[in-house]
Amino acid sequence: MAGHARVLRAPPRIKVLEALGAIADGRVERLGPRVYRVASSEGDRSYRVYVDPGRGLAYSDDNGTRLRGYVGYPIIAALMLEGLLPLDERLAEALRGVSWRRLNERLKRYALVEREVKRLARERGVDPGELDGFVEKVMERLRGLRLRYTGSPPLEALGGGGSGG
């Protein structure tokens, strides 16, 4: 279905921070070339991710990507680990252990979640302005990639990985 791939929209800003948190938590696992598995913050779900920026293609079965049509945090995390988006380990470390799903369910709005996450980062020694600058840099690079959603994972994404259990 790659011929009918739709261009993915830029994500809500909070998804960049969520990707950093996933990396800091060790929830992003490379299964093979351009293929990743990303565990949710609660650990009860995992997302299969495929990125091929050379062909402008991306796949992830997270809800943001699949249902809402934006570049979801699992894709952002994979692109960071591929070296195609900026990655700042110090900022990521400040976001370690955030319960993203719980925050989203409790606060209901991304702007409120972002405010809470920035408060936590400040307590951990990171200025919120630094996070803003980093997010803007990532968003700019993402817009330049113009990724298209493949709709189904390519064969190479279906192959490896085992059960992970």
Look at residue 143 in the predicted model and tell me its pLDDT.
Answer: 93
Average pLDDT over residues 130-139: 98
Give the contacts of 94 (CB within 8 A, at least 6 positions apart). Answer: 120, 121, 124, 125, 126
Q: What is the pLDDT of residues 76-128, one digit of tens each?
A: 999 999 999 999 999 999 999 999 989 989 999 999 999 999 999 999 999 99
Contact 78, 66 (CB under 8 A): no
DSSP state of 2: G
84 versus 160: the higher-pLDDT residue is 84
**How big is the chain by its Cα radius of gyration, in Å?**
15
Look at residue 122 in the predicted model and tell me its pLDDT.
Answer: 96
Average pLDDT over residues 29-35: 93
Look at residue 94 in the predicted model and tell me its pLDDT.
Answer: 96
Q: Rounded CA gap, 77 and 138, in Å?
A: 11
Give 49's strand partners: 36, 60
Q: In which residue are the tokens 């951990």 written?
A: 124
Average pLDDT over residues 19-34: 95
